[in-house]
Copies of this chain bind each other. A is one copy, B any other.
């Protein structure tokens, strides 16, 4: 992962930060690490982890990844209340923030070899949160690679594992059809997984059909970029309000709940809107509309709400493979970013 300037570290804020060649190389390495899980490539290296929101899969798989390569993670957000950082330049810091992100990032860069950040969007306005200002500030000031552990817009670590899983499952993913289907959940996830998966699948050459009820459109800027990737790659992208039409003929059904950006910052409206679409569940009947379709889901899964037990525990499910690939893909990423 070359960088333009010697001083600028390579960050991993979205999957598209990797060139096609970098992605191929990285997933080849991931496959080799899946076969031979441990080495000492990252001996004595450490990744500082900043969690402004909770995490299970991401945190544990990163900790295990570093450990299996001889390094370790350091949790930076535990046991400190000093995390209300100032981000504005030139301000007189006589308020609550005891430190500027510029100084925190510079100092931490001298202690650890990479910084992994899970920002906490404010949740009031999508126009503001879509800018991913918090992780951008870290990337601007850090002198080591910054890894996005799921921001408002992107979840590139999940997308990396998803692409690895697609490549493992289909010798040639290009030309296959993927249905990205919204599913109901009493507590929906953010749009980040859907955003990253959408761009990644198109870039892999899959035809993508996105199905969701009215009011659950993805970010307009992301859709613009998706259309442009589809054009470039010669794949098709369609949007539909009908899950069954999306699943028909699909080789992969990617189920995901996401919140309504139309209702962003208004939980009551959001809950009302969701409540009208409780029938958006992936079950065997719907899966049967596909072309020997496999199920993907980024977890956690609310069983029998998002996807039925029958599908999850049956032969179509790739969900545990996806989760396992988080570990392998991240080991490859860390090996490249920190070498």
User: Are A98 and B187 in contact, with the CB atoms below 8 A?
Assistant: yes
User: Are B38 and A110 in contact, with the CB atoms below 8 A?
Assistant: no
Given that A82-B300, A111-B61, A304-B90 are contacting pairs, would A76 and B56 also be in contact in the complex, using a CB cutoff of 8 Å? yes
When distances are taken between beta carbons in the complex, the residues of chain B under 8 Å from A309 are 90
Number of copies: 3
Closest to A321 in B: B110
A67 within 8 A of B: yes
Mark A79-122 against chain B: 1 for CB-CB distance below 8 A, else 0: 11110001000111111001110011011101110000000000
User: Are A112 and B60 in contact, with the CB atoms below 8 A?
Assistant: yes
CB distance from A310 to the nearest CB of B (A): 10
- How far, in angstroms, from A95 to B187 measured CA to CA in the complex? 9
User: Are B71 and A46 in contact, with the CB atoms below 8 A?
Assistant: no
Mark A53-74 against chain B: 1 for CB-CB distance below 8 A, else 0: 0111101110110011111101
User: Are B38 and A112 in contact, with the CB atoms below 8 A?
Assistant: no
- How far, in angstroms, from A74 to B82 measured CA to CA in the complex? 21
User: How many A residues touch the partner, as a band?
Assistant: 35 or more
When distances are taken between beta carbons in the complex, the residues of chain B under 8 Å from A186 are 94-95
When distances are taken between beta carbons in the complex, the residues of chain B under 8 Å from A104 are 56, 300
User: Are A320 and B106 in contact, with the CB atoms below 8 A?
Assistant: yes
- How far, in angstroms, from A75 to B59 measured CA to CA in the complex? 10
A77 within 8 A of B: yes
When distances are taken between beta carbons in the complex, the residues of chain B under 8 Å from A327 are 110-111
When distances are taken between beta carbons in the complex, the residues of chain B under 8 Å from A299 are 99, 103, 107
A301 within 8 A of B: yes
- How far, in angstroms, from A33 to B127 measured CA to CA in the complex? 48
When distances are taken between beta carbons in the complex, the residues of chain B under 8 Å from A80 are 54-56, 59
User: Are B75 and A72 in contact, with the CB atoms below 8 A?
Assistant: no
Q: Quick one: which of B71, B79, B108, B112 contacts A51, CB cutoff 8 A?
A: B79
CB distance from A87 to the nearest CB of B (A): 12
Closest to A57 in B: B107
User: Are B67 and A71 in contact, with the CB atoms below 8 A?
Assistant: yes
Q: Which residues of A contact B (CB under 8 A)?
A: 37-38, 43-44, 46, 48, 51, 54-57, 59-61, 63-64, 67-72, 74-82, 86, 90-95, 98-100, 103-104, 106-108, 110-112, 186-187, 299-305, 309, 319-320, 323-324, 327
Further contacts, 10 of them, CB under 8 A, given A44-B68, A59-B80, A64-B74: A44-B67, A56-B76, A63-B74, A90-B304, A93-B302, A93-B305, A99-B300, A103-B300, A107-B320, A111-B327
Counting from the closest, the 6 A-B pairs by CB-CB distance are: A99-B300, A38-B44, A93-B302, A110-B324, A54-B80, A92-B304
